[in-house]
Amino acid sequence: MPYFDAASTAPLHPVARQALLAALDDGWADPARLYKEGRRARMLLDAAREAAAEAVGCRTDELVFTPSGTRSVHTGIAGALAGRRRTGRHLIVSSVEHSSVLHSAEVFEADGGEVTRVPVDRTGEVDVSSYATALRPDTALACLQSANHEVGTVQPVAAVAEVCRAAGVPLLVDAAQSLGWERVEGDWSLLTASAHKWGGPSGVGLLVVRKGVRFAVQGASDERESGRSPGFENLPAIVAAAASLRAVRAEAEQEAVRLRGLTARIRARVPELVPDVEVVGAPERRLPGIVTFSCLYVDGETLLHELDREGFAVSSGSSCTSSTLTPSHVLKAMGVLSEGNVRVSLPTGAAETDVERFLGVLPGVVAGVREKLGAPMPAATVQAADVVVDSLGKRCPIPVIELAKVIGSVPVGGTVRVLSDDEAARLDIPAWCEMRGQEYVGEEKAERGTAYLVRRVS
């Protein structure tokens, strides 16, 4: 079965498997002990730290291993904010950060801190000037991911780091998606990453804190990992993580060229094969293996199930695939279509034949889902050139389907009011207008739900 969800977790790299099995035999003892088995374990831990530090581009005493990338983010943000508490209680994050960063920001905000969320453009990229504008005398920390986990857009980390450095503000970079491909450039201050994103085992994260950065560990600590990650180290997993990072980086340049070719093919072919599709994310400044697109009039959850039936594992940012029925915060921040969203993230070694089969299967799958969701013509109240569509109680993508069915019944210049109580409509109706060349006028409060106004211009 072709696995196209490497951005969630990459398949275990063969080198990681080999290193893990070897370390189970040689790295089971306590590396803090001085007897023979402990010294052997310590040598393995030191070698793993040296390999990881080389890949990151930092000193070995700046890097610690944690139980996960999420734990690295939480520890890094909390420690940096606490270390600079005298400076102020202001945090800057981008609006498309990983949920672990945003959750840390919410905790900080609940504790009385202030958070500025920097917006992004329709490709998902931040503007460096927006970070410069957000900086204040009381800013304690800024955060920016190296590349987005949902749409693959690469962020201008080096330029943002320069702006932050000039203001005396440390920058924490979440490098989970990019570290397997290359070092993060720029004068950043803190960095986090997660081994399972590059083909290492789950349960290993990296936290790097540059020398000179004020950092105060929060919560209980011990002598392990410089006091920044308490508890007995999972040494076999750490050894496998470092070994696989070195291995994937050795083949990264050549594999990146190959995967970029495959994702470029998907980006170009999907709109040709499937009508009413929006390919999202930056067209050039992007990770090699990720391509994301959204299909109008499609239920994201049904689409994923049908692709799974055809043997393809992909993921989605559609609200229809979440228990909260709200669209992905990344797609929402970008202002792009969320319904029928598909993220294809190719793992190292992904076969060209599998990509071609995916492109062959996708049009029929989308057409089948659209046919299943085909709604009857909605009851419409015609008032001159004003049509009201009642989509209350209907979830994505039905409100947009019903809008599309009636837009042709009003004259050019006429309006359609779509009544909806689905949060996704606030994003998907404007995105539909952008794709179909109609004018999104805005929203109005209704007796129930919200009225979204669309003016026909073509």
Alpha helices in 274-376 (DSSP H): 300-309, 329-334, 352-373
CA 331 – CA 210 distance, rounded (Å): 33
DSSP assigned state of 323:
T
Measured in degrees and rounded to the nearest 5, phi and psi for residue 327 equal -70, 160
CB-based contacts of 52-56 (< 8 A; 24+ apart in sequence):
52/206, 52/241, 52/242, 52/245, 54/246, 55/179, 55/183, 55/242, 55/245, 55/246, 55/249, 56/179, 56/183, 56/184, 56/191, 56/193, 56/206, 56/208
Which residues in 313-432 belong to E strands, given as ranges? 341-345, 380-383, 386-390, 415-420
The interaxial angle of helices 352-373 and 235-273, nearest 10 deg, is 60
Measured in degrees and rounded to the nearest 5, phi and psi for residue 141 equal -160, 145
CA 70 – CA 154 distance, rounded (Å): 20
Report the 10 Å Cβ neighbour count for 230: 15
Structure tokens at 264: 């470029």
DSSP assigned state of 286:
B
Active-site residues: which are they? 320
Could you give the C-alpha distances from 357 to 233, 311, 312, 348, 364, in angstroms and in order?
A: 43, 10, 10, 18, 12
CA 266 – CA 276 distance, rounded (Å): 15
CA 437 – CA 414 distance, rounded (Å): 14
Phi-psi region of 168 (alpha: psi -120 to 50; beta: other; left: phi over 0): left
Report the 10 Å Cβ neighbour count for 136: 14
